[in-house]
A and B are shown apart, each in its own frame.
Chain A
């Protein structure tokens, strides 16, 4: 059975198609340029006056795992204030800021997203993260395993383990946790916080006997050597601290030219100028990204209003706990591996700092020249819930709208930012790059994020509207692997999605020291720590798709 999408304006940056009107065909869940004689056309969709893009991909959204459940528990009021009734095909749920799993999947699909990636999978919590993702329908998913604060790796670095041995450990961990990438959060800092250290700079020796720079260099080398498509995903040190842009530049340099992805970089782009000793360093950060082709970043844009911050960065979450709103906060040390901090936060447009944070995010978007290396995120829910993406797209595409909003924020922040002078307006083509083609490319999802022959038929169709926010909020059609799942912004059929993983080869001998480590120190056995492929399907509830390693030689 085949379907035809005819008359739509196609935006497919992977094939350099910028608004050309052409037909697409879908056969057995895959995109085809044309039909063969054997294909029977079942349905034709007339897409005159419509824009067609691949399904969107969110490469950084906290939607699964223990910290999200802590956030849900702490935001009970928000859960109850935003109930989501079920239906014959939908499960019910709650929440706007940290929605329940089913609701999160539905909301993403309703916005035309077809894949989402949880960026902070604690290895020991990976089963729960995958179960939550398995209970997040409609979209494909995947996770980045947290490393860089685990005692095993820190001990290896301190003891001078070879890069090959570290590569084996990283590959083993990816296999054991069923993840697609490696994330490091405040390298060495979460570990140092367990020793009551309240700050750790990039070149400062931590209690584990290593510096954050060494950890980042070692892990970015491992990710590169193993042929993992996604660069080391780095939450840099000193999140939220005025003046931290220098740390961020040092973190970029730590990768020594190897690919590195700096996440929620807005929170790491602060200077110390001005009366408030808090200023924008977006220009310096954007310039560094522009000049270093090995660097990519997602922004972590904030939006005004109530949200909750969920992070593995116990050190910096504790640092920020005084700003909790409402006044409650949770921090947690976890299993000699990592940690988490969960703090509700209300970004206020009349606050100088918050207003400038908002402007800094947009300044970065507008000053990074290459949309293939800057990604549209709010670090959901830390900057704002993911449901604010259509609003963010409008801010990027419509200068007068952006400046109208800017005029009502804290006046001091307006003076401290050059946002109003920035003329750039993102095009639909650039939006398609940063929300589709680029995330697929940087994650190694070769069949996603584009509309070429053989791609998975993840397709989002928007009806052209003057209000770009409304257009992106409510697609006319969304297809997931060829199945029509959303029509006029409403879900018409539910699908499950798969979990994307990588499994680079490694020397099984690494299990010998690992077994000793688990036997001597851990409270779970090595065998039970590992999640097998069949456990993913039978117990956790998700099929997996294994992506091959790439050649980096």
Chain B
């Protein structure tokens, strides 16, 4: 059976123009060469044998697995709910059980979205969304050259669409991909579609951000040293100043993580400075594993973003103390409930504490204390997911009848048992 307009939740773009063929429990994109094909094939259950719940690697009934999981959670003094690589409804139920347990909840990639969130808390943002970029941007500046790997269809769907609502400037937009060179030389590689890849002789990617900010804040005559790196950024500033709608794009994971927050703040301050005279906007792209989805749910349900700790009886956001991965590394949790049912490779981190996994049916979770294979949102059951721009929420369809349990229903049962 073929399904049209299927949403792909495997990166933050949530492309929803996919054709998917389903035969029994096998899932394939109609176009096998499609960049997202491997993600969908990952959901196939080749042997048509539904994986069963396990306790320490041994098959058990769902009820028995839930009882064991509840026993572990009840005994825990500091439970950690992590992963959250899943749909909105499962995140909602994960919040509910975390609150009841008095635990901590975080996303597996929580740290990756905190930098942008912290800057919004401190100075705010000037942001845009995918369709605005697609239709209005006539100048695009991308910090770092790894975005295509994380967002395979960014250029095809957003940056270089066949048609736009804009004028010829938009249709002939200029795209600059800024990065640092590895050989100590400055160079510009001009390609098709007005794409320029510029490699700066700077030690760090963030050096480009700070040098550009300096140029934006000062006029050219106040710049002390004008080498070819600086001249290039002066030219870029000139282009930005003469453009109708410049969009700066970044993925915070490409920056040095120790200073990423400051780097994003520098970009935001630059945009706000430019906004005094021209239109300039930012598009932070993250959410390769549903981070935005989990964070949105946490924020509306508790008033604060992830991580959220319920130990005191009210929700508290303290990323320095409650980062999920650091808590695991520092042995600060005594039980892990890992939720990840989009992709089989999203396995829980190695840990010595009792761990319960509500996971993808093809996940290798042999080391889990309790493993309950779940349906895949967008394949085995309907769901919803938030896009990287934090505005659009897209529906995930049900494509097959696997009878795999829905993770959110498991969480509700578990909540009743703890």
B185 within 8 A of A: no
The 8 A CB mask of B296-338 against A (1 = contact, 0 = none) is 1001111111000010111111000000000000000000000
Q: Mark B106-126, 1 if CB is under 8 A from A, else 0.
A: 000000000001001111111
Flag whether B400 is at the interface (Cβ < 8 A).
no
Interface residues of B in 90-135 (CB under 8 A from A): 92, 96, 99, 117, 120-132, 134-135
Complex-state Cα separation, A83 to B302, whole angstroms: 9
Q: Shortest CB–CB separation between residue B91 and chain A, in angstroms? A: 11
Bound-complex Cα distance A334 to B281 (A)? 11
Min CB gap B126→A, angstroms: 6
Given contacts A79-B304, A127-B384, A521-B164, whether A528 and B129 have CB atoms under 8 Å apart is no
Query: Does A196 lie at the interface of the complex (its beta carbon under 8 Å from any beta carbon of B)?
Result: yes
A352 to B316, CA, bound (A): 38
Contacts of A496 in B (CB 8 A): none
Which residues on A sit within 8 Å (CB–CB) of B92? 135, 541
Query: Which of A85-102 touch B at CB < 8 Å?
Result: 85-86, 91-95, 98-102
Binds B, one of A69-77, A140-148, A294-302: A69-77
Contacts A95-B303, A334-B391 given; does A328 touch B164 at CB 8 Å: no
Given A79-B303, A91-B99, residue A328 in contact with residue B16 (CB < 8 A): no
Give every chain A residue within 8 A of B164 (Cβ-Cβ): 521
How near does chain A come to B52, taking the closest CB pair, in angstroms?
26
Task: Output the nearest chain A residue to B136 by Cβ-Cβ distance.
Answer: A194
User: What's the tally of chain A residues with a CB closer than 8 Å to chain B?
Assistant: 66
Query: Whole-angstrom distance between the alpha carbons of A122 and B131 in the complex?
Result: 14
Name the interface residues of B128-182: CB closer than 8 Å to any CB of A: 128-132, 134-136, 157-158, 161-165
List, in ascending order, chain B residues with CB within 8 A of A538's CB: 382
Question: Given A72-B300, A83-B315, A103-B303, does the pair A334, B244 have CB atoms closer than 8 Å?
Answer: no
Question: Contacting B120 at CB < 8 Å: which of A73, A101, A523?
Answer: A73
B392: interface (CB < 8 Å): yes
Q: Is the CB of A68 closer than 8 A to any CB of chain B?
A: yes
Q: Which of A162-202 contact B (CB under 8 A)?
A: 194-196
Given contacts A539-B89, A539-B395, contact A80 B96 (CB under 8 A): no
Q: Is the CB of B371 closer than 8 A to any CB of chain A?
A: no
B232 within 8 A of A: no
The number of chain B residues touching the other chain, given as a range, is: 35 or more
The residue on A at minimum CB distance from B164 is: A521
Whether A100 pairs with B300 at a CB distance below 8 angstroms is yes
Docked complex Cα distance between A522 and B386 (Å):
16
List residues of chain B with CB within 8 A of the CB of A332.
Answer: 125-129, 391
Interface residues of B in 377-413 (CB under 8 A from A): 382-384, 386, 390-395
| CB of B7 closer than 8 Å to a CB of A | yes
> Is B245 an interface residue when CB atoms closer than 8 A count as contact?
yes
A335 touches B313 (CB 8 A): no
Given B134, B279, B314, which contacts A83 in the complex, CB threshold below 8 Å? B314
Shortest distance between the CB of B164 and any CB in chain A (Å): 7
Q: Which of B34-78 contact A (CB under 8 A)?
A: none
Is B128 in contact with A328, judged by CB distance below 8 angstroms? no
**A99/B126 in contact, CB under 8 A:** no
* Chain A residues whose C-beta falls within 8 Å of the C-beta of B96 in the assembled complex: 91
Q: Check: A520 CB closer than 8 A to any chain B CB.
A: yes
Contacts of A525 in B (CB 8 A): 5, 16-17
In the complex the two chains form, is B124's CB within 8 Å of A523's CB?
no
Which residues of A lie under 8 Å from residue B16 when comparing CB positions?
524-525, 528
Chain A CB within 8 A of B88 CB: yes
Least CB distance from B247 to A in Å reads 10
Contacts A330-B125, A335-B391 given; 16 further ones with Cβ under 8 A?
A: A69-B299, A72-B304, A79-B317, A93-B303, A93-B315, A95-B303, A124-B391, A127-B393, A135-B301, A195-B279, A333-B132, A335-B132, A335-B392, A342-B124, A523-B157, A528-B16
Question: Would you list the 10 A-B pairs with minimal beta carbon distance, nearest first?
Answer: A94-B303, A83-B314, A100-B303, A127-B393, A79-B303, A330-B124, A328-B124, A95-B303, A523-B130, A335-B131
Can you sample 24 A-B contacts with CB below 8 Å? Answer: A72-B303, A72-B304, A73-B121, A74-B120, A76-B317, A80-B316, A91-B99, A93-B301, A94-B315, A98-B303, A100-B301, A124-B131, A125-B392, A131-B300, A135-B301, A196-B279, A328-B122, A332-B127, A335-B391, A520-B162, A521-B161, A525-B16, A525-B17, A539-B384
Which residues of A does B touch, CB under 8 Å?
A: 64, 66, 68-70, 72-74, 76, 79-80, 83-86, 91-95, 98-103, 122, 124-125, 127-128, 131-132, 135, 151, 194-196, 318, 324, 327-337, 342-343, 520-525, 527-528, 535, 538-541
State the B residues within 8 Å of A (CB): 4-5, 7, 13, 16-17, 88-89, 92, 96, 99, 117, 120-132, 134-136, 157-158, 161-165, 244-245, 275, 278-279, 281, 296, 299-305, 310, 312-317, 382-384, 386, 390-395
